[in-house]
Structure 1
Amino acid sequence: MSKTSAAQPLSPYSSATAKAKIETHTLSVLVDNEPGVLARVVGMFSGRGYNIESLTVAEVAHETHLSRITIVTSGTAETIEQIRHQLERLVPVHSVKDLTLTVRAIERELAMIKVRGKGENRVEAMRLADAFRAKVIDATTESFIFELTGAPRKIDDFVELMRPIGLVEVSRTGVAAISRGPEPI
């Protein structure tokens, strides 16, 4: 008789999936705008051990009471496909599109970044903000709050450059995404 250890439940992020390539995908989910829908969508993720890296929700069609949930998640290609199929089966969901597979998709995010700085650090923060096209939305003699809109990677880069200068706090909206062209997603 062979020795076996107790079976451990595998999450999409366990070491068993370490050999498979982990990908980040942006999903656009069109849902009914009614109480409890977001809880059902988020509950599907948490109940199955999937992670949500970014989540944004807004009504997009007032007349038909539809909202768009934009979810950034990661996992193997199989995990992402499983997430998509499970979302499609939820009752309030009208459609699920993987915008990562759409080469013409655009992703943007808004961030407010608070930076402390005096003297040379203040000058350097302003120089970098200008290079990134960040807008000053609040300023005191000891700090700035910058507003930056762009691709998530651009915001990540700006935040990392502000760390040694005097980064205090960051607030981000999460990814909003849409496909280019005349066709709806």
Structure 2
Amino acid sequence: MTSLRDFLISNYDELKKRLTYRLGNVDMASDALQDTYLRLQDKSVEQKDAAPSVAHPVAYLLQMAFHIAMDRERSAERRLTVEEAEGFLDIVDSAPGPLAIAEGREDLMRLLQDLETLPKRQREILLAVRLDGESREQLALRYRISLRTVDRELERGYAFCHARIRESDQ
């Protein structure tokens, strides 16, 4: 009884022709048959050359080679191409660096100190709207003022902040 490796070698051209037809690529078929041979060689070493009994060696080898080719294709689909990998290297990190973070914190601290110079009600309304998300209506009820007055306080607070930020940018 001949081994599957010997059968593959003696019927290589026929197996390659049939596998090429099934895969649609002669190079893929050749590579798959080569890998099939290597796997059979590994199995024979593990099994001390005990030849497995296969009723239909052609079908068995073709199926084995076909599965190897499909595994290779799936593996290749998961890998990045060189162009894709280079594309990732060109990505710029948009997160601020340590210097920008430190400057931002400094600006924020300066703005918070400047907010202390605002009239108390104006500061509280501005912070309640911007930080706490309170509605203008809620603030009008709390301070017993009109919506128009709330809007005016917000406008003045925004103008103040805008002016301070412009000053710090210069």
Choose between structure 1 and 2 for higher RCO, CA contacts under 8 A separated by at least 6 residues. Answer: 1
TM-score range, shorter chain: under 0.3
TM-score with structure 2 length normalisation? 0.24
Bigger helix share: 2
- When you count strand as a share of all residues, which structure comes out higher? 1
